[in-house]
Amino acid sequence: MVEQEANIALLIDADNASPDHLDELLLVLGELGTINIRRAYGNWAKASLKGWGNLTGSHSIVPMQQFDVVKGKSATDMRMTIDAMDLLYRGSVDGFGIMSSDSDFLPLAQRIREDGLPVYGFGTAKTPVSFQQACTRFFDVGALALEDEELEQPAFAKGQRPVDTELLQVLGSAYKASKRDEEGFTPLSELGQRAKAVSSFAARNYGFTRLSDLIKAVPNFEVKSGDDGRLLVKRLR
């Protein structure tokens, strides 16, 4: 029996997201499930949303109109939140993709996760950390856009983030929490699960498609293949 893919709802805050990164988002989110619900929210009378308007038809995105009720205030966030809760309570959605760099969606991400559903956030590197951490996984759209150019380049080439303190802390904490054999090796899959549990960690944020490629580029870890073919990881320092 073929396992059915997760039903993903993509909600786009067009007021706070660039259409330039839509292709990369759809590629990544498509790997996590089937994006059956695609909606973009904003006041479509604004000239600034013209770029989004041109993409709605070609990518089967439903434009959700929300007028600015009060000058200087956007009701888009509230409309997105209401629709997300409606979808959540219908029980037919298995996960949410939220494209925005607005921290106002922090409570929404937290509430969805309370029901056990994953929230995949997509925003710029300047997105408030609070919203990033509220997501099951958060993807830096700027880093995603560079991936195709870097597939044939060596580790930590142009556009790839080098080893930093934050990365080492996340991987180090995940390693400590993982079960290890007598030689100190732990399955790469378990390390990845632990890392995602303590943060919005995603290998793609560092310019790598797979976690294994990222770990191999970090000199602090040794990677080898186990007898069963699984990749094993050991922290060296």
What is the residue extent of each domain of the chain? 7-149, 153-235
User: pTM of the entire structure?
Assistant: 0.67
CATH architecture group of domain 7-149: 3-Layer(aba) Sandwich (3.40)
Angle of helix 22-32 relative to helix 141-150, nearest 10 degrees, comes to: 90
| Of 131, 127, 138, the residue nearest 205 (C-alpha) | 138
CATH architecture group of domain 153-235: 2-Layer Sandwich (3.30)
> pLDDT of the chain along its 237 residues, tens only?
445 788 999 999 998 888 888 888 887 888 788 899 999 998 888 888 888 888 888 888 999 987 766 555 567 888 899 999 999 999 899 999 999 998 899 999 999 999 999 999 999 989 999 999 999 999 988 877 655 444 334 344 545 556 667 788 788 878 887 888 889 899 988 888 777 765 567 787 787 878 888 888 888 888 888 888 889 999 886
Measuring CA to CA, how many Å separate 83 from each of 12, 39, 91, 174? 12, 10, 13, 35
CA atoms within 13 A on the CB side of 8: 24
| 3-class state of residue 125 by DSSP | coil
> Helices marked H in the chain — which ranges?
22-32, 50-56, 76-90, 106-114, 129-134, 141-150, 165-177, 188-198, 211-216
Q: Could you tell me the maximum CA-CA distance found in the chain, to the nearest angstrom?
A: 64
The residues near 77 (Cβ < 8 Å, ≥ 6 apart) are 13, 102, 104, 105
